[in-house]
Amino acid sequence: MQPYNYPSKYLENAVEEFAKLPGIGRRTALRLVLHLLNKPKEEVEQFSATLNEMVQNIHFCSICHNISDNDICSICSSTSRDKTTICVVETIKDVMSIENTMQYKGLYHVLGGVINPMEGVGPADLNIESLVNRLKSNDINEVIMALSATTEGDTTNFYIYKKIKDYNIVVTTLARGVAFGNELEYTDEITLGRALLNRVKFNNSFSVE
């Protein structure tokens, strides 16, 4: 694609800013900026004010590293959550996904990613130390490892497991198997193999309902 000849440097700057966002190229960025230009000035100022307000006011929970409006997030400070179970996830999005299942009432711990030497992410870049400290100083019965079902996720699982295996805490991982709605014909052999090995008694498979 040819570079555009922008009729205005202000327009160009705004397009460049939008094009920095993931999955947004220059063409889409231009469409978004022209859309904003068609709006009243106040709406665009509102847009930028909201972003500024967010970065200035948002906190990360000092216990679980989830996003929060306060120093301690609403999940960690809730009295109705099960404080003996911690679910370890990669990102804030994963917390939101698990919360949406309405199946989990424990606490979380957001690692901020997984160990990935190829991308230069080592254990020190993740919130692993604070997890170990939480497990040491609190009365935790179970840690649920809910990381991606990838090599990097598995590596991180093992790394954390080795650190905490002496603490007398049950460590579990998410069940792996054929996803709901998937046809066997299109399920890859690793998933199918694991699903066979970890087969469950018929009644059990409906126990969450």
Q: In whole angstroms, what is the distance from residue 174 CA to residue 148 CA?
A: 10
Question: 25, 45, 62, 133: which one contacts its own copies (CB under 8 A)?
Answer: 45
Question: 33, 89, 128, 160: which one contacts its own copies (CB under 8 A)?
Answer: 33
Question: Binding to its own copies by residue 146, rule CB under 8 A?
Answer: no
CB of 194 to its own copies, least distance (A): 28
Question: Binding to its own copies by residue 191, rule CB under 8 A?
Answer: no
Question: Binding to its own copies by residue 119, rule CB under 8 A?
Answer: no
Encoded tokens for 134: 């939480």
Q: How many CB atoms lie within 10 A of CB 129?
A: 11
- The number of residues making up the chain comes to 209
Question: Binding to its own copies by residue 111, rule CB under 8 A?
Answer: no
Question: 63, 65, 73, 131: which one contacts its own copies (CB under 8 A)?
Answer: 73
How far CA 96 is from CA of 67, 68, 69, 88, 196, in Å, comes to: 10, 12, 15, 13, 30
- Please say which residue, 60 or 159, places its beta carbon nearer to its own copies: 60
Question: Binding to its own copies by residue 88, rule CB under 8 A?
Answer: no
How large is the greatest C-alpha to C-alpha distance in the chain, in angstroms?
67
Query: CB under 8 A: which stretch of 31-39, 141-149, 160-168, 194-202 binds its own copies?
Result: 31-39
Q: In whole angstroms, what is the distance from residue 56 CA to residue 179 CA?
A: 40
Question: 25, 62, 69, 149: which one contacts its own copies (CB under 8 A)?
Answer: 69
Question: 71, 72, 79, 95: which one contacts its own copies (CB under 8 A)?
Answer: 95
Query: With contact defined as beta carbons under 8 Å apart, do 115 and 122 qualify?
Result: yes
Q: Are strands 85-89 and 107-110 parallel, antiparallel or unpaired?
A: parallel
Question: Binding to its own copies by residue 25, rule CB under 8 A?
Answer: no
Question: Binding to its own copies by residue 103, rule CB under 8 A?
Answer: no
Q: In whole angstroms, what is the distance from residue 80 CA to residue 104 CA?
A: 12
Encoded tokens for 184: 């066997």
- Please say which residue, 68 or 85, places its beta carbon nearer to its own copies: 68
In 3-state terms, what secondary structure has residue 81? coil
Q: How far is CA 79 from the centre of its chain?
A: 24
Question: Binding to its own copies by residue 67, rule CB under 8 A?
Answer: yes
Question: Residue numbers of the site for its own copies (CB under 8 A)?
Answer: 2, 4-11, 13-14, 17, 20-24, 28, 30-37, 41, 44-59, 66-69, 73-75, 91-93, 95-96, 99-100
